[in-house]
């Protein structure tokens, strides 16, 4: 046999020892690593494991209702069945799944696109609706085939609905899916809120906010309507599948918003406008409550809630009628002759005229080398202040404007609200233009444009020239005069209502300020305006009212026609004059003022005043015109 | 006189366990018990059943028992044939092997086998046989022959590709060659180069892991494994996910662990391959540092005992074979725990006796059987 060699064994033993040392070293390395992970960094990893394990599943809050001043709900929520798909489970074969599902349930290409976009945004984690508003037959068909679609389920979700569709669309606005921009904005708001109230942490749970008001009251009262979303703390698998609920924090529903708007009045006016474009604002002068806020044409806000489809969007956006444009809020118009009562009041207050002081009107007014024409050929003859308003004499105001100058007019009109932000509770209000020498200096760039020319002053007197105001401003100014100089901020919302207790908290602002006006002077103007509807330009429209109405017609030129004769009907529709009208009633103690424009309609007396008459008949006497379909409460 | 049934049973068990090394047996029993209880928890939500695990453990025991009865002399005689068969099968794999998950590792001979697994045992057998044969007349060029014996199968396995197994087979052979007396002057330079290489990779990790840098001799996925090891957070939802999640599991276990069946990382499916290669993460999460120290102590005892058996083995073949098999156990354990705890790159190496998997348990049973056999026959072959 092989001899047993001692040196060999020694060398082997030696190497076994070294191997043992090596093994010991390696094991110490492992132990060090494990001590590092499990003792030193334990806190960090325990936290990571917790955040791995727990997901916050949002429980959206019920959005507050929108209620008109008489309790009619114009913005509400309803629950509907949706087809929800768990992204994790369908990863990889989305198209195949949708194809198979569309055999039993109608799935439009738009649904498909939206769903896929949600998947991409979420990196395939979470549950997303593929189809909304399943009907009973579809639900039944899906339930029968449910076994074929793991990860797909039918679930009830809450949706926003505007039951009267187009009605009051511009003031209601609409909500839509939260965009990245909305999120950043909300984040900033929350950061701000946290600084004030560290307990506001719960509100920072942004994933629970899936919809946000985009325009209108839905936008401006977003924080009131939204409520506070709740969440469930849910244990989830790596794939995002919920295992069990650990705790839940219920959502706090949003508050209801009570509008100052009388939705029936709003409906009536919208119907009366028919196919005309325009804006109509009615205000309760004593409070500043906006009673109607019409912008025609309008749109259906329901189209926007789940994301508007491209065809409808293009149609709305490209329409020359501009249905998405909030006319009373943003549209600026020359006030035309509706400006005259304010001018007359300015003259009295600044002692530039007395009520009985007269001028002789030859039918034109020469200033420099320019002739300013009166509407009436041959002129109005001898004209005092009342006659100037009743007959709407231009020459009277040409001379008045010359005598006052642009800055005096500006200084008087400014506190009435012309060319100023009214502060109404909607976003995006236009300021308009109340000209002054300073305004011109600041607005134009070239020095020769910055200079004010006296000739430019003249047409300001009849509400033309640089004058450009919103219908809201015109109504606001009318309300301020009707309210004898006490300025109330106009508002569309008068109270916020608790959804459970129905307790209302008034949000109506107190008086903003008082304009120091002589009551005597105000009465002169009011009396003249009443006379307008008795023997003046809009007498026909107001024949036989059971109450006294003060009013003033206006016709604003869309562009300068120079001296060419203007014939209604022969001018292209979009170049026709705007018909304007302002009114207050009842004259002795006004409860409603109106300012309105009917775009490209022609004379104010003929097109605007009759609408105002019917609106006032309804609001003051409850009379409903025969030609307008009855108001029906939405089911 | 008729023996009582109790004595009969006792006698039966004595017959079965006689000749098995008691220390080694108890250590293995401890590991198998840990493996079984961890399996119960880790196999939740997997298609694997308890009976599968029990069958594998039984099979492993049977293989160990049978091998323990085989005299080392027989293994010595069969070594060259087993090695030859292994290489032949590897060539067969290279020619018409089955491709799964992009690797050609399997062979269908009525049932599917993975020949590289056989090589883990065949390699130390062959090299131990060779050095036994050259005992006393050993020349320097014998190491060259040994290197050729080593490199051929390692090359075949590495190009399947299966880097994990190739490294284990290489390690198994290398242990034999080093223990057979490879001069230190040849070993140390390689150790030096290795240490410097690892340091360089760690220092220049960010540069060489840049997206467009290709590494020589390694596949792209292998490069990724090393790169994600250096910085798991570079790809937290992709390549680094496994490492990050298993580190979270281990770290969140703390000192006492979350308790059996209480691991959230494991039970909420954050740990990949949780009952196979990453089972250590499940064990660590549920039993904490305390459990880990017990487990490491068992492994250490296993290795100490294996080396002790080898040291007292009667001839060079058994000494080299025993020590090499023991060090293979060590390598499995070290590489697996190192990988799961984020020290080493992710390679497919199971944790001995703890990971679920029939093939590995059979191989490990075979290795344990060899140690048992060496111990059992320690006197019989002594001249």
Q: Is B292 on the interface with A (CB under 8 A)?
A: yes
Same domain for A495 and A357? yes
Contact call for A4 and B330, based on CB within 8 A = no
| Cβ neighbours of residue A237 closer than 8 Å, sequence gap 6 or more | A243, B268, B269, B270
Last residue of a domain, one of A206, A238, A259: A259
Average pLDDT, rounded, for chain A: 86
A416: left (phi > 0), else alpha (psi -120 to 50), else beta? alpha
According to DSSP, residue A635 is labeled: -
Least confident segment among A108-117, A221-230, A378-387: A108-117
Least confident segment among A291-300, A618-627, B54-63, B241-250: B241-250
Same domain for A494 and A531? yes
Same domain for A13 and A75? no
| Cβ neighbours of residue A316 closer than 8 Å, sequence gap 6 or more | A299, A308, A323, A324
In a domain, A629, yes or no: no
Q: Is B178 on the interface with A (CB under 8 A)?
A: yes
Same domain for A84 and A151? yes
pLDDT (0 to 100) of residue A200: 44
Among the listed residues A251, A295, A337, A388, the single catalytic one is: A337
Last residue of a domain, one of A194, A229, A259: A259
Give B301: exposed, middle or buried? Use CB within 10 Å, 0-12, 13-18, 19+: middle
Q: Once rounded to an integer, what is the mean pLDDT over residues A21-30? A: 94
Query: Could you say which of B252, B303, B343 has the minimum Cβ distance to residue A45?
Result: B252
Of the candidates A474, A438, A425, the residue with the CA atom closest to the CA atom of residue A594 = A474
Average pLDDT, rounded, for chain B: 86
In a domain, A314, yes or no: yes
Same domain for A283 and A331? yes
How many helices and strands in chain A, by DSSP H and E? 25, 23
In a domain, A406, yes or no: yes
Q: Which of A75-89, A308-322, B32-46 has the highest mean pLDDT?
A: B32-46
Q: Are A533 and A550 in contact (CB under 8 A)?
A: yes
- A4-20 per-position pLDDT tens digit: 444 556 688 888 999 99
Contact call for A49 and B337, based on CB within 8 A = no
ipTM of this complex prediction, to 2 decimal places: 0.91
Q: Is A51 on the interface with B (CB under 8 A)?
A: no
Least confident segment among A272-276, A297-301, A466-470, B199-203: B199-203
- A356-372 per-position pLDDT tens digit: 999 999 989 998 888 88
Q: In whole angstroms, what is the distance from residue B359 CA to residue B380 CA?
A: 31
Residue A18 belongs to domain spanning: 6-40
Tally Cβ neighbours within 10 Å of residue B243.
Answer: 27
**Angle, CA B27 vertex, CA B21 and CA B31 arms, to 5°:** 140
Contact call for B255 and A46, based on CB within 8 A = no
Q: Are A491 and A290 in contact (CB under 8 A)?
A: yes
Q: Is the pLDDT assigned to residue A202 strictly greater than 80?
A: no
Q: Three-state SS string across B280-323, please?
A: HHHHHHHHHHHHHHHHHHHHHHHHHHHHHHHHCCCCHHHHHHHH
Q: Is the pLDDT assigned to residue A125 strictly greater than 70?
A: no
Using a pLDDT cut of 90, give the percent of chain A over it: 51
How many helices and strands in chain B, by DSSP H and E? 15, 3
Contact list, B342 vs chain A (CB under 8 Å)? 33, 37
Of the candidates B364, B175, B298, the residue with the CA atom closest to the CA atom of residue A16 = B175
- A133-173 per-position pLDDT tens digit: 888 888 888 888 888 887 788 888 888 999 999 999 999 99
Return the SS3 of B112: strand
Which CATH number do you get for residue A70?
A: 3.90.1310.10
pLDDT (0 to 100) of residue B234: 59
Contact call for A45 and B178, based on CB within 8 A = no
How does residue A478 score in pLDDT terms, banded at 50, 70 and 90? very high
Between β-strands A381-383 and A370-373, what pairing exists: parallel, antiparallel or unpaired? Answer: unpaired
Is the pTM above the cut of 0.90?
Answer: no
Q: In whole angstroms, what is the distance from residue A580 CA to residue A555 CA?
A: 6
Q: Is A91 on the interface with B (CB under 8 A)?
A: no
Q: In whole angstroms, what is the distance from residue A630 CA to residue A321 CA?
A: 27
Higher pLDDT, A502 or A572: A502
pLDDT (0 to 100) of residue A233: 77
Same domain for A28 and A70? no
pLDDT (0 to 100) of residue B230: 67
Q: In whole angstroms, what is the distance from residue A268 CA to residue B313 CA?
A: 108
Tally Cβ neighbours within 10 Å of residue A451.
Answer: 12
Same domain for A22 and A86? no
**Angle, CA B379 vertex, CA B375 and CA B382 arms, to 5°:** 125
Q: Is the pLDDT assigned to residue A612 strictly greater than 90?
A: yes
Q: Is the pLDDT assigned to residue A563 strictly greater than 70?
A: no
Select the residue from B252, B278, B351, B374 to test the A interface by mutation, using most A Cβ atoms within 10 A: B252
Q: How many angstroms away from the CA of B107 is the closest CA of chain A?
A: 31
Contact list, B304 vs chain A (CB under 8 Å)? 20
Q: Once rounded to an integer, what is the mean pLDDT over residues B17-36? A: 89
Same domain for A26 and A124? no
Q: Is the pLDDT assigned to residue A306 strictly greater than 80?
A: no
Q: Once rounded to an integer, what is the mean pLDDT over residues A121-143? A: 77
pLDDT (0 to 100) of residue A109: 83
| Cβ neighbours of residue B377 closer than 8 Å, sequence gap 6 or more | B71, B72, B73, B314
Total domains present in chain A: 3
Least confident segment among A29-43, A47-61, A310-324, B38-52: A47-61
- A443-474 per-position pLDDT tens digit: 988 888 889 988 899 999 999 999 999 999 99
pLDDT (0 to 100) of residue A461: 93
Q: How many CB pairs under 8 A join A and B?
A: 132
Q: Is the pLDDT assigned to residue A539 strictly greater than 50?
A: yes
Q: How many angstroms away from the CA of A46 is the closest CA of chain B?
A: 4
Q: Is A312 on the interface with B (CB under 8 A)?
A: no
Least confident segment among A40-49, B79-88, B169-178, B217-226: B217-226
Length of chain B: 383
Least confident segment among A30-39, A119-128, A321-330, B167-176: A119-128
Same domain for A11 and A100? no
pLDDT (0 to 100) of residue A204: 47
In a domain, A91, yes or no: yes
* B 134-153 → A contacts, CB under 8 A: 135-136
Q: Which of A93-97, A446-450, A589-593, B73-77 has the highest mean pLDDT?
A: A589-593
Using a pLDDT cut of 90, give the percent of chain B over it: 46
Least confident segment among A110-119, A220-229, A282-291, B360-369: A110-119
Contact list, A5 vs chain B (CB under 8 Å)? 135-136
pLDDT (0 to 100) of residue A571: 55
In a domain, A48, yes or no: no
- Token pair for B361: 């348990």
A295 is catalytic: no
- B184-235 per-position pLDDT tens digit: 888 888 888 888 888 887 777 666 676 666 776 677 777 777 777 666 665 5
Residue of A nearest to B323 (CA): A16
Contact list, A238 vs chain B (CB under 8 Å)? 245, 268-270
Q: In whole angstroms, what is the distance from residue A163 CA to residue A633 CA?
A: 9
Contact call for A37 and B179, based on CB within 8 A = no
Same domain for A243 and A106? yes
Q: In whole angstroms, what is the distance from residue A4 CA to residue B315 CA?
A: 8
**Distance of alpha carbon A171 from the chain centroid:** 5
Q: Once rounded to an integer, what is the mean pLDDT over residues A615-633? A: 92
Between β-strands A278-284 and A289-296, what pairing exists: parallel, antiparallel or unpaired? Answer: antiparallel
* B 299-328 → A contacts, CB under 8 A: 299-300, 303-304, 307, 310-311, 315-316, 319, 323, 327
Contact call for A16 and B310, based on CB within 8 A = yes
pLDDT (0 to 100) of residue A5: 47
Q: Is the pLDDT assigned to residue A84 strictly greater than 80?
A: yes
How does residue A421 score in pLDDT terms, banded at 50, 70 and 90? very high
Last residue of a domain, one of A259, A294, A312: A259
Contact call for A23 and B303, based on CB within 8 A = yes
pLDDT (0 to 100) of residue A198: 45
Which CATH number do you get for residue A376?
A: 3.40.710.10
What does each C-alpha distance from B148 to B123, B174, B327 come to in angstroms?
A: 12, 12, 21
Same domain for A309 and A251? no
Q: How many angstroms away from the CA of B272 is the closest CA of chain A?
A: 10
Contact list, B250 vs chain A (CB under 8 Å)? 34, 37-38, 45
Q: Is B343 on the interface with A (CB under 8 A)?
A: yes
Return the SS3 of A368: coil
Query: Could you say which of A2, A52, A235 has the minimum Cβ distance to residue B136?
Result: A2
| Cβ neighbours of residue A473 closer than 8 Å, sequence gap 6 or more | A417, A418, A419, A420, A422, A432
Q: Is the pLDDT assigned to residue B239 strictly greater than 60?
A: no
Same domain for A334 and A242? no
Q: Where are the domains of chain B?
A: 23-376
According to DSSP, residue A166 is labeled: T
In a domain, A301, yes or no: yes
């Amino acid at each position: 046999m092989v001899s047993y060699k001692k040196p060999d064994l020694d060398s082997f033993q030696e190497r076994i020892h070294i191997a043992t040392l090596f093994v010991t070293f390696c094991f110490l390395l492992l132990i060090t690593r494990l001590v590092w992970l499990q003792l030193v960094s334990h806190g960090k990893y325990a936290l990571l494991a917790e955040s791995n394990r727990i997901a916050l599943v949002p429980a959206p809050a019920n959005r507050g209702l929108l209620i008109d001043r008489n309790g009619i709900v114009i913005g509400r929520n309803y629950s509907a069945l949706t087809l929800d798909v768990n992204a994790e489970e369908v990863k990889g074969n989305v198209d195949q799944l949708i194809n198979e599902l569309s055999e039993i349930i109608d799935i439009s290409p738009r649904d498909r696109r939206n769903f896929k976009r949600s998947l991409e945004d979420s990196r395939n984690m979470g549950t997303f609706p593929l189809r909304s508003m399943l009907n009973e037959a579809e639900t039944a068909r899906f339930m029968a085939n449910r076994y074929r679609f793991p990860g797909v389920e039918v679930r009830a979700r809450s949706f926003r609905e505007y039951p009267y569709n187009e009605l009051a669309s511009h003031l209601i606005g609409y909500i839509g899916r939260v965009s990245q921009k909305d999120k950043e904005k909300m984040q900033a708001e929350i950061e701000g809120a946290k600084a004030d109230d560290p307990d506001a942490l719960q509100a920072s749970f942004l994933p629970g906010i899936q919809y946000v008001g985009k325009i209108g009251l839905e936008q401006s009262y977003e924080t009131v309507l939204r409520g506070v979303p709740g969440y469930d703390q849910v244990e989830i698998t790596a794939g995002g599948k919920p295992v069990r609920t650990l705790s839940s924090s219920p959502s706090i529903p949003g508050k209801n918003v009570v509008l100052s708007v009388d939705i029936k009045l709003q409906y009536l006016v919208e119907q009366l406008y028919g196919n005309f474009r325009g804006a109509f604002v009615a205000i309760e002068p004593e409070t500043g409550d906006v009673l109607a806020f019409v912008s025609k044409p309008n749109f259906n806000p329901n189209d926007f809630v789940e994301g508007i489809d491209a065809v409808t969007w293009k149609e709305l956006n490209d329409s020359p009628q501009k249905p998405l444009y909030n006319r009373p809020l943003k549209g600026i118009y020359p006030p035309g002759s509706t400006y005259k009562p304010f001018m007359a009041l300015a003259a009295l207050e600044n002692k530039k005229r007395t009520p009985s002081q007269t001028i002789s009107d030859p039918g034109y007014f020469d200033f420099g080398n320019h002739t300013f024409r009166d509407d009436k050929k041959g002129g109005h003859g001898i004209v005092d202040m009342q006659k100037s308003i009743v007959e709407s004499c231009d020459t009277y105001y040409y001379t008045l404007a010359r005598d006052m100058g642009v800055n005096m007019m500006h200084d008087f009109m400014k506190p009435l609200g012309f060319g100023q932000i009214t502060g109404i509770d909607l976003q995006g209000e236009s300021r308009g233009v109340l000209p002054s020498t300073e305004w011109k200096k600041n607005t134009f760039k070239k020095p020769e444009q910055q200079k004010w020319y006296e000739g430019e002053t003249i047409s300001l007197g009849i509400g033309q020239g640089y004058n450009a105001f919103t219908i809201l401003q015109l109504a606001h100014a009318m309300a301020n005069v009707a309210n004898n100089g006490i300025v109330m901020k106009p508002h569309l919302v008068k109270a916020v209502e608790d959804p459970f207790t129905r307790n209302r908290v008034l949000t109506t602002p107190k008086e903003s300020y008082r304009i120091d006006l002589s009551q005597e002077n105000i009465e002169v103007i009011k009396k003249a305006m009443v006379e307008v509807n008795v023997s003046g330009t809009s007498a026909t429209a107001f024949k036989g009212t059971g109450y006294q109405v003060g009013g003033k017609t206006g016709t604003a030129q869309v562009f300068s026609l120079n001296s060419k004769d203007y014939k209604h009907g022969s001018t292209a529709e979009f170049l026709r004059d705007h018909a304007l009208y302002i009114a207050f009633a009842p004259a002795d103690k006004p409860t409603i003022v109106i300012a309105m424009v009917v775009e490209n309609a022609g004379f104010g007396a003929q097109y605007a005043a009759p609408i105002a008459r019917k609106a006032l008949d309804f609001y003051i006497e409850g009379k409903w015109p025969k030609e307008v379909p009855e108001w029906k409460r939405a089911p | 006189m008729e023996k009582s049934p109790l004595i009969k049973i006792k006698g039966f068990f004595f017959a079965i366990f006689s000749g098995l090394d008691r220390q080694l047996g108890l250590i293995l029993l401890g590991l198998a018990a840990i493996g079984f209880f961890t399996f119960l928890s880790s196999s939740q939500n997997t298609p694997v059943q308890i009976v599968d695990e029990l069958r594998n453990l039984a099979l492993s025991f049977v293989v160990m028992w049978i091998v323990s009865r085989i005299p080392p002399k027989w293994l010595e005689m069969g070594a060259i044939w087993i090695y030859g068969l292994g290489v032949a099968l590897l060539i067969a794999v290279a020619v018409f092997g089955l491709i799964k998950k992009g690797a050609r590792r399997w062979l269908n001979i009525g049932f599917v086998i993975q020949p590289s697994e056989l090589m883990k045992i065949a390699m130390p057998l062959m090299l131990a046989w060779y050095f036994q044969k050259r005992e006393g007349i050993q020349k320097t060029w014998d190491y060259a022959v040994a290197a050729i014996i080593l490199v051929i199968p390692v090359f075949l396995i590495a190009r399947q590709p299966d880097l994990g197994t190739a490294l284990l087979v290489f390690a198994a052979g290398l242990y034999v060659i080093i223990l057979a007396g490879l001069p230190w002057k040849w070993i140390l330079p390689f150790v030096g180069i290795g240490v410097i290489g690892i340091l360089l990779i760690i220092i220049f990790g960010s540069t060489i892991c840049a997206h467009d840098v290709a590494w020589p001799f390694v596949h792209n996925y292998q490069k990724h494994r090393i790169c994600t090891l250096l910085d798991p957070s570079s790809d937290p939802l992709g390549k680094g996910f496994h490492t990050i999640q298993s580190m979270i599991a281990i770290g969140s276990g703390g000192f006492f662990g979350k308790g059996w069946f209480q691991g959230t990382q494991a039970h909420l499916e954050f740990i990949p391959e949780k009952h196979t290669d990453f089972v250590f993460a499940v064990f660590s999460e549920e039993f904490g540092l305390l459990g880990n120290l017990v487990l490491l102590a068992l492994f250490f005892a296993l290795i100490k005992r294996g080396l002790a058996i080898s040291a007292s083995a009667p001839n060079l073949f058994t000494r080299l074979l025993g020590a090499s098999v023991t060090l293979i156990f060590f390598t499995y354990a070290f590489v697996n725990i190192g990988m799961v705890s984020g020290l080493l790159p992710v390679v497919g190496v199971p944790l001995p006796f703890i990971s679920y998997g029939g093939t590995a348990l059979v191989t490990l049973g075979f290795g344990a059987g060899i140690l048992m056999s060496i111990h059992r026959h320690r006197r019989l072959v002594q001249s």
